[in-house]
Amino acid sequence: MFHVLLLPRRPFHVLQAALLFFTLVLGSCRTPSPTEMSTAKPVPTFALSSIIPMPDSVKLLGGSFVLNPNANIYVEPGTVEARSIGQFLADIVGRSTGYNLQVLASAGAPPRGNIYLTTVGGDPTLGEEGYVLTVTQDLATVVAYQPAGLFRGIQTVRQLLPPSIESSTIQPGPWGMAAVTIRDSPRFVWRGTMLDLSRHFFGVQDVKRYLDLMAYYKLNRFHLHLTDDQGWRIVINSWPNLATYGGSTQVGGATGGYLTQAEYSEIVAYAQLRYITVIPEIDVPGHTNAALASYAGLNCDGVARSLYTGIGVGFSALCVSKETTYTFVDDVIRELSALTPGPFIHIGGDEAFATAIPEYVRFIERVQTIVQSYGKQMIGWEEIAQSRLLYGPIVQHWYSNVVQGAAQQGTKVIMSPASKAYLDMKYDNSTTLGQDWAGYIEVKDAYTWDPATQVSGVAESNILGLEAPLWTETIQTIAEVEYMAFPRLAGYAEIGWSREAGRNWDEYKIRLGEHGSRLTALGVKFYRTPEVPWK
């Protein structure tokens, strides 16, 4: 049996749908080739049915590669990053297969039966994250221009293997992959999610778990909402009370917590190994009650506020007319910039209802010079577009059309429309967690929109990509984070990565259904929407 599928870059039409069906249904129970006849059971293979986000082009070659107990992973000699990417794959595959895969060096193609990761011959036109994955009966090879592309490519390798490859305990094989050629690169450079550590605190282990799940879907931006009215979650050495006092509670009044600078750095390093950039957010001038409680001098009346454990917004404000406020902002941004290798600092700027608009505008204009002075690119929620923005900032859309003007003047936009991309919105009226002020967001609603047509006047060329924020007023545990994020986050990942013209809910929901068993193997207790035929 021999299928050739080239997807998508062009509308998904009936013929492709028929071919896909043929592949999905028959691809996993095809006639064994003569060489496989000797094995006891046929090797199941997964191809198009199992990859999220959908790659740019997939060509099924017929036949399969079987990972055997003596398989290893080969990389070019002397490539430190490729070696650590190989180890990442070896660890995952090793846990479920029980095989002891070694990462070995090989100049040129290794012996048959192995996995090969190389940047030699990588195609620069596929960009930093693009890759070509070729699976034949002999070898599984990922070639990429940059290590980031190798890392994205091995996520596809994981998804070509059976779902039980994700299990943390040894599973029965066989471990087959469909023979295939995949050429792949992302549509958008910004494919992110945000976690709110302030309303409820999540520590290093929880954050790492979230990063692992992001990586599986090829996401590359992790926005950490580190401060808000309910808690300040990162140590700032020059203002120590922020964390120790301002971080002591959370929504509902339970004990809060904070990241030490070493823990923050540990998160950044863990993200880096997954080719994910961390964007720290310090939300100013509103959403600052925790800071106003920690230091009386940040208040215009010089009186420290009480700690806040409710879920209201818009009531707090730094005293924008006091010089102390700018010393504070400068110190915080200086320390955060030094800890953050990524080029971005997010300064919040949303819902500053307790600051008069002209003062807000001036405040943001001054803060941008502080961010600039530490060599970082400023990001802010869409409200900052009211200010005269210099130095090429990035504006994050969430609710209004205020970004239109800025976009038309060349400011880049991240799309996080609350009614489509807020992971804290309930799925439907039976969801017990979450909020509903922006509406319910069922899994289909989360998938069926396009960032490039969401706000009129904000076109594809104005957009860096999308980000799905998870606000945690109602979310207390990592299991609850996972329930709200999955399966919607897989859909956002596909919106960010795959070509719009090839996206189609009826086709996607089949692949998502197949990911039910993958998410289960990963230990994710996701929302089993009735819209999807789960496996």
Question: Exactly one of 398, 427, 449, 508 binds ligand TNX (CB under 6 A); which one?
Answer: 398
Question: Exactly one of 381, 492, 497, 527 binds ligand TNX (CB under 6 A); which one?
Answer: 381
Contact criterion met (CB below 8 Å) for 53 and 500: no
Q: Give the shortest CB-352-to-ligand TNX separation in angstroms.
A: 10
CA distance 118 to 143: 5
Closest CB to ligand TNX among 182 and 413?
413
Closest CB to ligand TNX among 386 and 435?
435
The site that binds ligand TNX (CB under 6 A) totals a number of residues, namely 10
Closest CB to ligand TNX among 16 and 250?
250
Residue 476 burial (CB count, 10 A): 18
Structure tokens at 249: 């509670």
Structure tokens at 479: 């299991």
- Is 471 a binding residue for ligand TNX by CB under 6 A? The answer is yes
CA distance 519 to 260: 31
Q: Give the shortest CB-506-to-ligand TNX separation in angstroms.
A: 30
Closest CB to ligand TNX among 395 and 519?
395
- Is 351 a binding residue for ligand TNX by CB under 6 A? The answer is yes
Beta strands in 56-102 (DSSP E): 57-67, 73-75
> Residue 268: in which H helix or E strand, if any?
helix 261-272
CA distance 270 to 199: 23
Closest CB to ligand TNX among 263 and 428?
428
Q: Give the shortest CB-418-to-ligand TNX separation in angstroms.
A: 6
Per residue, what are the HEC states of 331-348? HHHHHHHHHCCCCEEEEE
Name the residue with tokens 């013929």.
15
- Is 424 a binding residue for ligand TNX by CB under 6 A? The answer is yes
Closest CB to ligand TNX among 74 and 398?
398
Q: Give the shortest CB-196-to-ligand TNX separation in angstroms.
A: 6
DSSP class of 421 = H
Q: Give the shortest CB-68-to-ligand TNX separation in angstroms.
A: 49
> Measured between alpha carbons, how far apart are the two ends of the chain, in Å?
25
Closest CB to ligand TNX among 158 and 199?
199
Residue 471 has φ and ψ, to the nearest 5°, of: -80, 145
CA distance 1 to 70: 28
DSSP class of 388 = -
Q: In what order do the strands lie in the sheet with 103-105?
A: 57-67, 175-184, 131-135, 139-143, 114-118, 73-75, 103-105
- Is 232 a binding residue for ligand TNX by CB under 6 A? The answer is no
Contact criterion met (CB below 8 Å) for 533 and 24: no
Q: Interaction with ligand TNX in 150-189: which residues (CB under 6 A)?
A: none
Task: Reduce the DSSP state of residue 472 to 3 states and report it.
Answer: coil
Question: Exactly one of 5, 66, 313, 433 binds ligand TNX (CB under 6 A); which one?
Answer: 313
Closest CB to ligand TNX among 331 and 351?
351
Q: Give the shortest CB-320-to-ligand TNX separation in angstroms.
A: 19
Active-site pick, 266, 351, 359, 531: 351
User: Which of 217, 185, 186, 179 has its CA nearest to residue 59?
Assistant: 179
Q: Give the shortest CB-213-to-ligand TNX separation in angstroms.
A: 21
CA distance 290 to 334: 20
- Is 480 a binding residue for ligand TNX by CB under 6 A? The answer is no
- Is 435 a binding residue for ligand TNX by CB under 6 A? The answer is yes
Q: Give the shortest CB-396-to-ligand TNX separation in angstroms.
A: 8
Structure tokens at 41: 């059971």
Structure tokens at 397: 């859309």
Question: Exactly one of 281, 350, 467, 507 binds ligand TNX (CB under 6 A); which one?
Answer: 350
Question: Is there a catalytic annotation at residue 351?
Answer: yes
- Is 531 a binding residue for ligand TNX by CB under 6 A? The answer is no
Task: Concatenate the DSSP letters of all residues of 304-322 into one string.
Answer: PPPP--S---S-----TTS
Q: Which residues bind ligand TNX (CB under 6 A)?
A: 313, 350-351, 381, 398, 422, 424, 435, 471, 473
By annotation, the residues acting in catalysis are 351
